[in-house]
Amino acid sequence: MTRTVMKTLLAGIAAVTMGASIAQAGPLMDRIEAGQPIRIGFANEIPFAYPGDDGSPRGFVNAHTLGVLEAMGHTNIEAVQTEWGGLIPGLNAGRFDIVTGGMNILASRCENIAFSEPMAKVGDAFIVAPGNPKNIGNYESVAESGAIMVTGAGYSNIEAARAAGVADSNIMQVPGPTEILAAVRAGRADAGGGTYFTVRQLADSSGGAVEVTDPSAMPEDAVNWAGIGFRKDDTDFLARFNEAQKAYLGSPDMLEAVAEYGYDEGSLPGDRTTEWVCANR
């Protein structure tokens, strides 16, 4: 082989290697390397993620995510609030870079975005009128009683209710928690479905107008795992995030940061992986 041919081959290999390296860098790393902020997207979902009075990111998922990012050396963060139904479309459209809204990992969502490893185990429950007049405890009882269930547009509760036989005509979809509480208080819905974290907060803020059902009445398959959402072409950054989260999740620093929002050791996700959750939820 001549020296000229050898040089040509080595140049070609270098070009291919460089191209592969560039292809592995997703748009989020490009933003970071350009000195731009990491934009976290969330809705007004107390206590998961919500804006403070000054617009700062509040809630236990935001607190956790900020802790992981800081451990990675990233502190240039910009908060972007949107409606729940706009989180996945907004992420894929590039309006923000990470979804921190407390989103349950579901097979249908795994088709559209990439999730971190789980950061919380989340059970469902309902808010109902005092005394629970329709004896609602789980999705099957909603279906059997013909009750009207209200929940947020895009919430995992919709799929769970349908799977239990609740007709679409009996599922009222609203923008978020404020509207869920309003519908139940006004008698337009018999039950408001959400995570136990969410409905507990709604009941506590209602002055006794509604009460929370027992989350243990829900079947095991109503238990979900929440993760942090990323674009599928940001898997390079996601791999680094997962590594940092592994060290941070459940640490004293993390538990201190999320304690004010009701997250404790009982909320830790256990040993379920995102791969398992995507396949089973």
Condensed to tens digits (0 to 9), the pLDDT of residues 64-77 reads 999 999 999 999 99
Q: Is 39 helix (H, G, I), strand (E, B) or coil?
A: strand
CA distances (Å), origin 15, targets 3, 8, 20, 118:
18, 11, 9, 38
Gap between the terminal Cα atoms of the chain: 57
- Stretch 120-137: mean pLDDT: 96
Q: What fold does the segment set 124-222 form as a domain?
A: D-Maltodextrin-Binding Protein; domain 2 (3.40.190)
pLDDT given for residue 159 in this prediction: 93
Sequence spans of domains, the chain = 12-121+226-280, 124-222
221 pLDDT band (50/70/90 cuts)?
confident
Listed in order, strand segments (DSSP E) in 16-68 are 38-42, 50-51, 57-58
Cα 92 from chain centroid?
15
The yes-or-no verdict on residue 48 having pLDDT over 50 is yes
CATH number given to 12-121+226-280: 3.40.190.10
Q: Are both 12-121+226-280 and 124-222 of the same fold?
A: yes
- Asked if residue 2 has pLDDT above 60, the reply is no
Q: CA 225, CA 106: separation in Å to the nearest integer?
A: 9
CA distances from residue 104 to 55, 83, 117, 224 in whole angstroms, order as listed = 24, 16, 11, 6
